[in-house]
Structure 1
Amino acid sequence: DLQKAQNERTAIICMSYVQYSNGFRINLEELGNIKNDHTLVINASQAAGAFEIDVKRMKIDALCSTGHKWMLAGYGSGFLYLSRKLLDDTRARAIGWLSVEEPFADRNREFQLRTDAASRAELGCPHFAGIFALGASVDYMMKIGTKRIEERVLQLNRYLTDRLSDEGWRVLSPLRTESSRSAETLVAADNPKLVVEHLARRNVLVTEKPQGIRISTHFFNNEEDIERLIVALNETRTE
């Protein structure tokens, strides 16, 4: 129990919003309410783009995410959020030439760090292609609506887990409550490598895990995709 584990030595609580291994999604609002005065750091790489995130309501102090997963922006992009309090209370461990006030003054004996988070964290030349791709992805998702995306993602995951259970496949993802459901599902398989290879031949891409396979569905998928997956999965039982 996370609340019981906190003591006078606790400084930071660092968690993933969604666990990459089995798709378990933590309740960030509950976590924010029990963090007390500790700094809450969240890795949202397996959630940003699929689930709504409100850093103020969830009392998140720092959040990071890659852009190449559920944000659909390709490799080399990502983003970082730092609360104003965390910015004021901390000092950068590494800086670049654009991290300081008057960067073109080329002062090597002294410098004054900029107070805005984005420039303080830039250690070199920006990756413009990744930034433009991430920006286009954000614009596209905002037009669809983050709430609509989350609802569709959860709807597809419910359909997926129901169909897997109907066909006798054992779902390993912890789904004791709906709040722990995400867009990723871990399914038991005796020989994950062979299952992944067979599905790939059917143009169905999943991820190999030690216990089985991880299946992920985003808002652009549909029920027909899931039925095609089920058919291909059942074929592995006869191989």
Structure 2
Amino acid sequence: MTDFPFAQERELFPILRHKVQLSSCSQSALSLPVAQAMAAYQDGWLRQGMDWSGWMAGVAQAKSEFARLIGADADEIAVMSSVSDIASSVVGALDFSTERARIVATALDFPSTGHVWLAQQRRGAQVHFVEEGAEGGIEEAALLAAIDERTRLVALSQVSYYGGHLIDVARVAERAREVGALLWVDAYQSAGTLPIDVRRDGIDMLASGAQKYLLGCPGIAFVYIRRGLAQTLQPLNTGWFGRVNPFAFDIRGLDWADGARRLDTGTPPMLNGCVAAAGLALLNRLDMVAVRDHLRALSEVALETVREQGLATASPLDPAHKGSNTAVCVADAAALEQRMAEAGYIVSARGGVIRVAPHFYNTADEVRDAIRTLASLARA
């Protein structure tokens, strides 16, 4: 590991001393700071019975850390339990009663968000999925052509969950602005792996959950809403934390907090927030350009080893066009995932592929050995 750029940070992940965890597309490895945040929450609960102010401070810190990671301000961030919840709140605040009623999504997005868009057909939305092209990804020309003056919302995954295909969100944002549409970016498979700047790229809304590349646990998700846009939204899905003063306890008064906080609903997931704050703080200590470059180098190793072993991949063959995940085509992926775990390699099965998804703490040798082991088990 002489050229390994994150040797010091790697020591914060104890599991890597005896296992190879390459499942960040599903669940990242547990770090010591995150484990300590879990223990601190439990300790406060045990000793004090309740630490509302401390727990809320943890949620506020998580919002601030997520904002820092994507180039936003903390008051542009709302928090819920999942990206599905966030998507439902956001799209439920949009008007589909006019000629501008189209939602443009892609066939490579995670199904849950597609289900959210389809549910809006009852409110007049017209959902159009851009299909994958001959190379297996979403062709930029086809995506841009689908965005026109009928489009209310463009919704896409920056990196696809299955094959890791990467979309140029800045180019899509430019097209959306040209026709007056809004852009929603699902960054679940990209945040924490590459530099994101929502202002630079002209993104209206961007969401991600914590347990994948953000180093946290399930049960919390964040959304950036551009400040001017947030002020126009009055979501049907709401709760007391979306009010100007939640502690007024006014059951007959419905007002809207400034900024993205109007998207907040009920009591936030406090334990998950404290955990997410620790994971995000660790990430914000890193140079995201260096993280991106390291993961691209690992993608080169993965793709080279896939070829060497005579395997096929559902991922792009150019590391510059993919995220961290390399999807290796196999038969009976679920069974192979279990056999890989027994051999000491934690990977993630989806459909007909095993996803080998390193994070900054993984090495080239780990990726190479994992794919060679996978090939051996698949042949066996």
TM-score by length of 1: 0.91
- SS of aligned partner of 1:186: strand
For the 8 Å contact 2:158–2:190, the answer to whether it is kept is yes
Report the equivalent of 1:50.
Answer: 193
Q: What stretches of structure 1 of length at least 5 have no aligned partner?
A: none
Partner AA of 2:300 in structure 1: R
Partner AA of 1:70 in structure 2: Y
Identity of aligned residues (%): 24
Partner AA of 2:181 in structure 1: H
Report the equivalent of 1:74.
Answer: 217
Q: Aligned to 2:315, which of 173, 194, 216?
A: 173
Partner AA of 2:282 in structure 1: Y
Q: Aligned to 1:164, which of 291, 306, 309?
A: 306
For the 8 Å contact 1:207–1:215, the answer to whether it is kept is yes
1:148 aligns with 2:290: yes
> 2:208 and 2:379 mapped to 1: Cα distance?
40
Q: Aligned to 2:226, which of 76, 83, 92?
A: 83
For the 8 Å contact 1:18–1:46, the answer to whether it is kept is yes
Shift in Å, 1:157: 1.2
1:127 aligns with 2:265: no
Partner AA of 1:233 in structure 2: L
> 1:202 and 1:76 mapped to 2: Cα distance?
29
1:107 aligns with 2:271: no
Shift in Å, 1:134: 1.2
Shift in Å, 1:237: 4.7
Shift in Å, 1:51: 1.5
> 2:255 and 2:339 mapped to 1: Cα distance?
58
**144 and 6 in structure 1: CA distance in 2 versus 1, 3 angstrom threshold:** closer
For the 8 Å contact 1:78–1:134, the answer to whether it is kept is no
For the 8 Å contact 1:101–1:111, the answer to whether it is kept is no
The one-character-per-residue Cα deviations of 1:6-32 (angstroms, maximum 9, x if unpaired) are 233211000011110111011112212
- SS of aligned partner of 1:219: coil
- SS of aligned partner of 1:123: coil
Shift in Å, 1:48: 0.8
After superposing the two structures, state which structure 1 stretch, 201-210 or 45-54, moved more. Answer: 201-210
The one-character-per-residue Cα deviations of 1:95-146 (angstroms, maximum 9, x if unpaired) are 222322233333333332111313x222222222211111111211111222
Q: What aligned pairs does 1:1-239 form with structure 2 within 5 A after superposition?
A: 1-35=142-176, 36=178, 37-118=180-261, 120-175=262-317, 177-239=318-380
Shift in Å, 1:178: 4.3
Shift in Å, 1:199: 1.2
**113 and 228 in structure 1: CA distance in 2 versus 1, 3 angstrom threshold:** same
**105 and 159 in structure 1: CA distance in 2 versus 1, 3 angstrom threshold:** same
> 1:149 and 1:107 mapped to 2: Cα distance?
47
Shift in Å, 1:75: 1.5
> 1:89 and 1:174 mapped to 2: Cα distance?
39
**106 and 178 in structure 1: CA distance in 2 versus 1, 3 angstrom threshold:** same
Higher relative contact order (Cα pairs below 8 Å, separated by 6+ residues) = 2
After superposing the two structures, state which structure 1 stretch, 179-188 or 102-111, moved more. Answer: 102-111
For the 8 Å contact 1:23–1:185, the answer to whether it is kept is yes
Partner AA of 2:289 in structure 1: K
For the 8 Å contact 1:27–1:179, the answer to whether it is kept is no
For the 8 Å contact 2:185–2:207, the answer to whether it is kept is yes
Q: What stretches of structure 2 of length at least 5 have no aligned partner?
A: 1-141
**125 and 209 in structure 1: CA distance in 2 versus 1, 3 angstrom threshold:** closer
> 2:191 and 2:229 mapped to 1: Cα distance?
21
For the 8 Å contact 2:189–2:323, the answer to whether it is kept is no
For the 8 Å contact 1:27–1:180, the answer to whether it is kept is no
Superposition RMSD in Å: 1.8
**93 and 168 in structure 1: CA distance in 2 versus 1, 3 angstrom threshold:** same
- SS of aligned partner of 1:7: coil
TM-score by length of 2: 0.59
**84 and 232 in structure 1: CA distance in 2 versus 1, 3 angstrom threshold:** same
For the 8 Å contact 2:165–2:321, the answer to whether it is kept is yes
